[in-house]
Amino acid sequence: MATFLSAHGYDPGPTQRPLIAGAIAGILATAPAVPILIWFRSLKVEAQILNLSTLLTLAIGWVAMAFAGAIYSRVFGRAANNVHGGWLFGMAFGFALWAAGAVLVLPIVSHGRAPAGPAALGVAASLLVWGLATGILLPFVHHPLHENLKKASRDAQVGPGAAAGKQQHVRDLRQRSNG
């Protein structure tokens, strides 16, 4: 099934840099999510749960959202790069992050402590807003990172030269195994 999807354009190509674009979009999308965390006092509660300063919790969260953005762009592939539907994929991914992070991982890491009440609502809302923003931003961040096709066709790792090199490598392996 995976080869069927990649044959029909699901997987981003090597010149598209989906991980970098996702990380950048994840970092940028954190900006509208942080005020929600502050408004609901979720950031302060998370810092207390983790026994960290608020600033350090924010810094770690920003890095985590860069990784989450990279994962988002890799998991959803070209669908994440859709200007019309990316926001929906982003919100779904934000919800999954909330379920995995705030509901599952945070209590495990903190010996059963998790945000409750308005702080919990703030965490959920911030991750939904983060997902929405990531889904909206990714296509616009991703486009400038696409490699020029003429330049890529001259690269040995992509383009016609790479395909010819792979075919020659396969022929060499077959000759060695038969001979």
Q: Kindly tell me the sign of the dihedral angle through the C-alpha atoms of 124, 95, 56, 52.
A: positive
- pLDDT above 50: residue 5: no
Q: What is the DSSP string of 9-67?
A: T-SPPTTS-HHHHHHHHHHHHHHHHHHHHHHTTHHHHHHHHHT--HHHHHHHHHHHHHH
Cβ–Cβ < 8 Å for 74, 118: no
Phi, psi of 54 (to 5 degrees): -60, -40
- pLDDT given for residue 1 in this prediction: 44
Q: Kindly tell me the sign of the dihedral angle through the C-alpha atoms of 35, 141, 102, 111.
A: negative
Please list, in sequence order, all residues whose beta carbon lies within 8 angstroms of the beta carbon of residue 148, skipping any fewer than 6 positions away: none
Tell me the range of 77-91, 119-133, 138-152 where mean pLDDT is highest: 119-133
- pLDDT above 90: residue 142: no
- pLDDT above 90: residue 122: yes
- The pTM score is 0.75
What does the pLDDT look like over 51-70, one tens digit per residue? 999 999 999 999 999 999 99
Cα distance between residue 37 and residue 34, in whole Å: 5
- pLDDT above 50: residue 4: no
Cα distance between residue 87 and residue 37, in whole Å: 20
Cα distance between residue 111 and residue 138, in whole Å: 35
- pLDDT above 80: residue 97: yes
Residues written for the chain: 179
Mean pLDDT is lowest, of 25-29, 97-101, 154-158, 173-177, for 154-158
Sketch the domain layout of the chain as residue ranges: 16-146
Position 42, amino acid: S
Residue pointed to by tokens 């990172």? 145
Instruction: Give me the mean pLDDT over the 20-36 stretch.
Output: 96
Q: How confident is the model at residue 173 (pLDDT cuts 50, 70, 90)?
A: low
Mean pLDDT is lowest, of 111-120, 129-138, 144-153, for 144-153
